[in-house]
Amino acid sequence: MRELAAELGISRATLHRWVGSRDHLLGEILWAEAAAVLDNVSFTGRGGEGLAEAIGTFVHTVNISAPFRTFLRSEPERALRLLTTKASLVQSRTIDKLRALLAGEIAAGRLRSPLPVADLAYLLVRVGESFIYTDVITGDEPDAAKARTAARMLLEDHFRDATTAS
């Protein structure tokens, strides 16, 4: 924060008034990056299959982001706190965005869900996170294909047109 304040030619107190804490600023930056990725992943109108593909694409895009991986490796505890806890701007906004997209697919009859939409959105976000932060959590390599497969498994029975479901 000191370096940023100096670069902007303002005091640290002014910077804190403008952006809040370092964690809040980092959360907003991480969300801006995540939102940009989510906005560029097209799956509307494709039901569960499209959603599974979009989750895999999102995970892949995040996994190949050099700045993101550097942050995750250099500050793993802070990164996980900012990205995956209930206080996380990123997780709550990602869940909200996915909830809206799921609701749209359900309303259009392209998807059914035995779970409430909010729960399904949360579950799918956690699945994606599991294959983004794998290296920090288990030491395994992050794997977008596994995220896509897991999302497909969760949505598989719901791919067919919901209007033909019994």
Query: Do the beta carbons of residue 147 and residue 131 sit within 8 Å?
Result: yes
Least confident of 36-50, 58-72, 134-148: 36-50
Reported pTM = 0.83
The CATH code belonging to domain 21-164 is 1.10.357.10
**Which carries the bigger pLDDT value, residue 45 or residue 149?**
149
Res. 42: pLDDT tops 80: no
